[in-house]
């Protein structure tokens, strides 16, 4: 929360304690913390204008359903439904924390329903597109070691089905010595994923070429200045790759994780195994890929069947 936020000291103290609890009690990732901070800041900024002054805990306790609805309606002009649904979840988390700490109680917020979200399927690449991407990404920089880094990172994400945060969270000491890799995923849940020889080879090539020394607990993937690689830098590289290969805008680092699952399923992988590899808490999340695979099969049928 920024120092100039329109809140009194009691709210500022509650926010600081909540964020500390998220960081250490819930062990939320830094990206989750940034999202929560963005959401709660927007909420409090809106309230200061809505109520006409700096916000106290007593104001938060007295809010009615119409106040929360006004905030949600305000967001429709600027944010997508998925963003607003997440923001409402953030606000509920903050209120839940304050109630547990006996700071205030407000039941109205827990009766609020977020916007209806459109059902979306994971956007996977076709297998030839994945191959093209892996071939091209190692040729975008003047620095050879940076090319090797980007190739190693994309090969890791696609070859092991990792989230970009999971890949960038790896340390030098995490480099697989055998055919398996231990990953710390969402909610700090650990899982073991198999590592293909091509993944190990790409990582070894990058580490060997990297001009910066590694210590055991140093980030595995480094930026040009030797610090931990910013995910935005790699996302930019994928956008450049997209333009070079003429790929759709849905091709992001996360699309290669989707491609990992979809291609495994197409090749006969079972859902339970894919669920474990992806680190999904619920099988229903993994089941989305069956719909993706059905779509691919139907399209193949329409394009190939002589009577279609």
Cα(107)–Cα(98) distance, integer angstroms: 12
Q: 116 in helix, strand or coil?
A: coil
- DSSP count for the chain of H helices, then E strands: 14, 2
The dihedrals phi and psi of 55, each to the nearest 5 degrees, come to -95, 135
Contact 145, 153 (CB under 8 A): no
Percentages of the chain per state (helix, strand, coil), in multiples of 5:
60, 5, 30
Q: Is 92 known to be catalytic? A: no
Cross-strand pairs, 205:
none
Is 254 catalytic? The answer is: yes
Residue of 163, 206, 258, 263 marked catalytic: 163
Q: How far apart are CA 211 and CA 289, in angstroms?
A: 40
Beta bridge partners of 184: 190
- Kindly name the residue from 289, 302, 305, 307 that is annotated as catalytic: 289
The verdict on whether 258 is a catalytic residue reads no
Contact 266, 293 (CB under 8 A): yes
- To the query of whether residue 280 is one of the catalytic residues in this protein, the response is yes
- 86, 92, 186, 191: which one is catalytic? 186
> What are the residues whose beta carbons fall under 8 Å from the beta carbon of 65, sequence distance 6 or more?
108, 111, 112
Using CA atoms, how far apart are residues 71 and 200, in angstroms rounded to an integer? 49
225 is catalytic: no
Q: Respond yes or no: is residue 27 known to be catalytic.
A: no
Catalytic residue among 42, 254, 258, 263: 254
CA dihedral (41, 42, 43, 49) positive or negative: positive
**Terminal alpha carbon distance of the chain:** 58
What residues are annotated to the active site? 163, 186, 254, 257, 280, 289
């Amino acid at each position: 929360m920024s120092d100039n936020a329109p809140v009194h000291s009691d709210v500022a103290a509650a926010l600081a304690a909540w964020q500390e609890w998220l960081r250490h009690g819930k062990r939320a990732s830094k990206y989750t913390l940034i999202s929560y901070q963005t959401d709660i800041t927007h909420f409090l900024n809106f309230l200061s204008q809505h109520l006409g002054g700096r916000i106290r805990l007593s104001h938060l306790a007295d809010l009615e359903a119409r106040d929360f609805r006004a905030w949600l309606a305000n967001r429709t002009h600027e944010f997508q439904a998925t963003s607003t649904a997440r923001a409402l979840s953030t606000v509920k988390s903050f209120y839940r924390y304050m109630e547990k700490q006996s700071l205030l109680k407000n039941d109205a917020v827990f009766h609020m329903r977020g916007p209806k979200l459109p059902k979306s399927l994971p956007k996977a690449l076709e297998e030839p597109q994945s191959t093209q991407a892996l071939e091209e990404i190692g040729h975008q920089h003047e620095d050879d070691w940076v090319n090797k880094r980007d190739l190693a990172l994309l090969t890791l994400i696609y070859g092991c089905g990792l989230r970009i945060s999971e890949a960038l969270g790896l340390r030098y000491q995490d480099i697989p010595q055998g055919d398996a890799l231990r990953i710390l995923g969402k909610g700090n849940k650990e899982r073991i994923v198999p590592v293909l020889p091509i993944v190990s080879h790409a990582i070894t090539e990058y580490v060997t070429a990297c001009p910066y020394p590694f210590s055991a607990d140093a980030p595995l993937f480094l930026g040009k200045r030797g610090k931990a690689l910013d995910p935005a830098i790699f996302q930019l590289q994928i956008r450049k790759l997209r333009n070079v290969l003429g790929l759709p805008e849905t091709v992001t680092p996360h699309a290669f994780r989707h491609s990992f699952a979809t291609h495994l399923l197409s090749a006969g992988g079972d859902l339970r195994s894919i669920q474990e590899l992806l680190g999904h808490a619920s099988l229903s999340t993994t089941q989305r890929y069956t719909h993706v695979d059905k779509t691919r099969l139907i399209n193949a049928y329409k394009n190939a069947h002589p009577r279609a």
